[in-house]
Structure 1
Amino acid sequence: MKLKFLAAVGLAATLYSCDDTTTGVGEFVADADEITASAQTFEATTKTLKYTDLNQNGVFSRTSSAYLGKFTDPDFGTYTTDFITQINCTEGFEFPETTQEIVATTLELSYASFFGDSLAPMRVRVDMLDKAIDDTGEDLNLYYTSYDPIEEGYYNPEKPELAEQDYAVRDNSWTDEEIDSIKSENGYYPPLVIDLDKKKSSGIKEDEAGAFSQYLWNKYQENKDYFKDAYSFIHNVLPGFYVHTTSGEGAILYIGDIWLRMKVKYLVERPSTGAMDSVVYTSIPFAATNEVFMSTRLSNSEETLNSLAGEKEHTYLKTPAGLCTEVKLPLQEMYDALGTDTLNSVSMAFTKYKNVSDNSENSPYKMGTPQNLLLIRKNEVKDFFEQRKNYDSKTTFLGTYSSTTNSYSFSQVNRLISQIFSDMRTKEEPAQGWDEYNTMVLIPVKTETDSQGNTIGLSHDLEVNSAKLMGGEDGEKIKMEIIYTKPKFNK
């Protein structure tokens, strides 16, 4: 019986794949077991949502990457991003016993890629936080992109900056050949190196000489235990940095590694005399790691996003934290027609326009296409990302962009619909109705994979990407192609 059943479903699938319009495929019967397989089409409706419609705090951005810069797009307006980071101190750290001083300190931002104009003149400012941010894992609001360190009292904009520096993505102090060689060797461009001793007044203390390096060394001499672990270092020496763009626009850095690098002067024994008087310099790096706090902040042009969200002939995706697409399924209609049947396959595809607009087609800095979309219930988005869940192909689904079909496809949605049908049969209807309660959204995501290529985690896509999709409240409906079976039992 099992083989005949699979053969019936296989034939239905073959018919389905050969005809885009499955309505009218008809029915066939596996006579021996009287199992009928059929196909039917329903229509889903889509519209554009702002991420802040899902959560007023924006998107959850607990990630080991940071983003920095400002860019204005002809379609989506101005986007600005900066970040807060703490610096880790390894347990039991000590400077060499004969250390004389910390000669220089820099903050190094290493990036493997970027978006925009590599030669755009930009200026970055680094401020030291006024107090430590205690990340106990309980206050998840710390990791939302709307988090404001000024409003929360961690940073005072009236205080003199620690450092400010002009830069461009492609540092002209390096030749093209040197840059390409460095990039091919370690995957990163030459880092953005910010001199933390450049300004003579660091704002740390009015009566100090002002050099940040001297401040660090004074703290170490005051109490070596301030450097014994990350907690002590963050609460007694360096609460963290707020790194943000103060002028210029045209590029966004995708930062992978952050280093606080101290150049230290210490003494070693002179071989010829045995005297401890030979001067040696070494570089000691402290890193921003997963064990300490890091969070990206960003803002988009709200007026522009509101205008795009109001367009009804199509929908949009825009990352980071810009626009996503709502999908309303015709559940009651489907239940009335197929509520007692077995759903073998429910598939749907979202087709992308070639370009967002003529503006984007002619732009020299064209946004990328989101590569992966998460299909998830609208009311489950917050918990999914905060709890670091993975998609399960039962209630959450991952669709990957295909350049061949220019679309995102989802083919196992029958598992979700079957569960919803079961709820409709056995549970009390939600106050807002089954259709509204099970409204879905498409959210661009980044995937984390293991060594075998299996997806082990998802996070919000925080790079600059966009897509315009067919659909919309007044546009084309999204076809839901369903293959189902009707077992007929002998009396």
Structure 2
Amino acid sequence: MKFKLMAVIACTAALYSCDDSTSGVGDFVSNIDKIEAFSSTYEATSETEIFTETFTKGIYSRTNRAYLGKYTDADFGEYSASFITQINCPEGFEFPERLKEITDVSLELYYTGFYGDSLATLTVQVDELDKVIDDSDEALYYTNYEPKNYYDETGKYTAQKSYAAVDKSVSDSLRNSKGYYPNIKIDLGEEFRKNLDDKSKDPNNFKDANTFINNVLKGFYVHTVQGDGSIVYIKDIWLRINMKYTVTGSQGQDSTAIGSSILAASKEVLMSTRMQNNTDKLQELKANKNHTYLKTPAGLYTEITLPIESKDGKDGIFEKHKNDTLNSVTLSIKKYRYNNDLNEDNADKSQYKMGVPQNVLMIRKGDMNDFFEKNKTFDNETSFLGTYDSSTNSYTFSKLNRLISHIFSEKRQGNNDADRDVVVLIPVTTETDTEGNIIGVSHDMEVNAARLFGGEDGEKLKMEVIYTRP
């Protein structure tokens, strides 16, 4: 009660400098000296949903990062990641003028981190694409695309390589040094080398990215074919071309030199990650009514029905406050403290602790497709960003009066959309400019999870409303 009284007093003081009044929801002009503020609490309901049941094409995944590997978790089941990538050939690229031969070619995958068993052995396979990808191919913007549409899965693969997330063949001193960049280096073999060597005889094949992709290399499908235990987070993809060429010395003599050129995957060409989750396990978690879940990537999200309408004999926010000014509406969603007890039955089975989603987007259910497809950012009116607070172990959204205002206006205009009062919580990552301003929001593609308070039979979510009444 003391907290509520303090909150009401603080809000009342803030009214004289606040410009966030809820337009169209009880705005008024008063000549009295004091405005009394009140507070009310309402219960919101929540449930777990599966991404692939809502996003039938998967989640929108246009990104400059790739993910690779396979991991089976006691709570969430099997999860795997693979990717298709093209290689960019920048304008002006040239081989040495007196190129003798290309000696070997490798695909190098550089990663910034991983999840799972650092020593688990997995086998990655590289298949060369057999069709030129049209950048307008919508399927490749989502995580559920079918790779066999872009390469011959019955044909001979280009290369394979066994690897572990931590390469023990590298000395500890080097691996722990500041400049070390962990990578998986895959020799693409003699047949690929010979074909590239033949293509290099015509410089026009390398004049720009489009010509290179059409005439030389359409791209790769990179996927795990054996093993289980880790997922690596890939930042850079290089095609390294080693060669011999002739140079003329200071005395006019010819000598053979050895060098290399690097072509990279970049934002100028397509890269698309494919995600697969064990839906049987996800269905089990969705069926749990005592709490809700978040699981990335492309796993589970939480859906919340806001208490706008009256229900079960209890007045909703609209009925109680349709003529009031809503000065603050706050919803705080607590997370269970330990991530290794996501499912009590499996508490002793999870070897590796998943990370906690650091940023969660709250957005109206009907808006979530457009939000990611059109590269929008949150507007604090119908979409909001909540950051995980480890001190309170929760995500807090404190400007929801603007959303409630929006819903009130729609309700008055006769909008009876079934999802009008429904919002979803989706784990996201953010992109910032040089000044730290958030300029982009995308799906969280790393392995993270959280079990939240709520659920149909669990502890109800509390929505705090502070309002003034003319």
Decide: shared fold, TM above 0.5.
yes
Matches within 5 A, 1:102-113: 102-113=102-113
Within a 5 Å distance, the mapping from 1:27-66 to structure 2 comes to: 32-33=32-33, 35-66=35-66
Mapped contact 1:360–1:366 kept (Cα < 8 A): no
Deviation at 1:347, TM superposition (A): 0.2
**Residue identity matched to 1:104:** D
Quote the Cα distance in structure 2 between the aligned partners of 1:361 and 1:376: 35
The aligned counterpart of 1:289 is: 266
User: Which residue pairs with 2:322 in the alignment?
Assistant: 339
Q: 2:188 aligns with which of 196, 205, 210?
A: 196
Question: 2: CA distance between counterparts of 1:236 and 1:382?
Answer: 36
- Establish whether residue 449 from structure 1 lines up as the match of residue 426 from structure 2: no
Q: Distance in 2 between matches of 1:480 and 1:446?
A: 25
Q: Which amino acid aligns with 1:141?
A: A
Shift of 1:233: 0.6
Query: What TM-score, normalized to structure 2?
Result: 0.90
Instruction: For residue 61 of structure 1, report the CA deviation from its aligned partner.
Output: 0.7
Paired residues of 1:12 and 1:483 also in contact (CA < 8 A): no
The equivalent residue for 2:415 is 429
SS of the residue 1:35 aligns to:
coil
Aligned to 1:388: 375
Q: Specify the alignment match of 2:304 in structure 1.
A: 327
Which residue in the other structure is 1:19 paired with? none
Q: 1:147 aligns with which of 120, 145, 148?
A: 145
Could you tell me how far apart the structure 1 residues matched to 2:365 and 2:347 are?
Answer: 29
Output the CA distance in 1 between the equivalents of 2:33 and 2:92.
73
Give the whole-Å Cα distance in 1 for the aligned partners of 2:85 and 2:335: 37
Rounded Cα–Cα distance in structure 1 between residues aligned with 2:11 and 2:451: 35
The corresponding residue for 2:26 is none
RMSD between aligned alpha carbons?
A: 1.8
Please report how far the alpha carbon of residue 141 of structure 1 lies from its aligned counterpart in structure 2 after TM superposition: 2.7
Amino acid at match of 2:179: E
- One-letter amino acid of the structure 2 residue matched with residue 98 of structure 1: R
CA offset at residue 303 of structure 1? Answer: 0.4
Match of 2:343 in 1: 357
Instruction: Give the deviation of 1:173 after TM superposition.
Output: 1.6
What is the CA-CA distance between 1:8 and the residue it aligns to?
7.7
Alignment partner of 1:235 is 2:214:
yes
How far is 1:10 from its partner? 2.6
Instruction: Find the residue that maps to 1:118 and give its secondary structure.
Output: coil
Answering whether residue 375 of structure 2 is matched by residue 398 of structure 1, we say no
Matched with 2:118 is 118
> How far 1:212 moved relative to its partner?
1.2
Query: Residues 6-17 of structure 1: matches in 2 within 5 Å?
Result: 10-12=10-12
Q: Contact (CA 8 Å) 1:121, 1:168: kept in 2 or not?
A: yes
1:431 is displaced (CA, Å) by 4.8
Residue deviations 1:48-90, cap 9 Å, x none? 0000232111111111110000001111111010000000001
Contact 1:54/1:378 (CA < 8 Å) preserved in 2?
no
Q: CA offsets, 1:123-144, max 9 Å, x none? A: 00000000111114xx433111
User: What are the superposed Cα offsets for residues 420-468 of structure 1, whole Å, 9 maximum, x if unpaired?
Assistant: 112222x122353xxx323100000001112222211110001000000
Contact 2:49 2:300 in 1 (8 A): yes
Q: Distance in 1 between matches of 2:280 and 2:299?
A: 12
Q: Which residue of the other structure, out of 212, 233, 256, is the alignment partner of 2:192?
A: 212
Provide the residue aligned with 1:185 in structure 2. 179
Letter in 1 for 2:415: E
Stretches of structure 1 lacking an aligned partner (at least 5 in a row): 1-6, 15-29, 198-209
* Count of equivalent residues: 439
Shift of 1:261: 0.4
Kept in 2, the 8 Å contact 1:114–1:253? The answer is yes
Corresponding residue SS for 1:56:
coil
Match of 2:19 in 1: none
| 1:131 and 2:127 are equivalent in the alignment | no
- Name the structure 2 match of 1:171: 167
CA contact 2:407–2:420 (8 Å) conserved in 1: no
Amino acid at match of 1:408: Y
Instruction: Compare 302-311 and 354-363 and name the one that shifted more.
Output: 354-363
Q: Give the Cα separation in 1 of the matches to 2:78 and 2:12.
A: 49
DSSP-derived class of the 1:331 partner: coil
Question: Could you tell me how far apart the structure 1 residues matched to 2:331 and 2:13 are?
Answer: 14
Q: Is the 8 A contact 1:101 1:214 kept in 2?
A: no
Asked whether 1:483 is paired with 2:466, we answer yes
Residue by residue, what CA displacement relative to the aligned partner does 1:156-196 show, whole Å, maximum 9, x if unpaired? 11110000111111112211111011xx226x32x110000
Q: Distance in 2 between matches of 1:249 and 1:13?
A: 58
- Which consecutive residues of structure 2, in runs of 5 or more, have no partner in the other structure? 1-6, 15-29, 310-315
**Conserved 8 A contact 2:123-2:227:** yes
What is the letter of the counterpart of residue 295 of structure 1?
S
Which residue does 1:307 correspond to in 2? Answer: 284
Q: Hey, what's the Cα distance between the residues in 2 that align with 1:463 and 1:326?
A: 21
Q: Is the 8 A contact 1:12 1:39 kept in 2?
A: no
Q: List per-residue Cα deviations over 1:289-335 (Å, max 9, x = no partner).
A: 00000000010011000111111110000000000000001112211
Aligned-partner Cα distance in 2 for 1:13–1:127: 65
Return closer, same or farther for 1:289/1:431 CA change in 2, 3 Å cut-off.
Answer: closer
Give SS of 1:218's match: helix
**Distance in 1 separating the partners of 2:248 and 2:203:** 24
Q: Residue type matched to 1:259 in 2? A: W
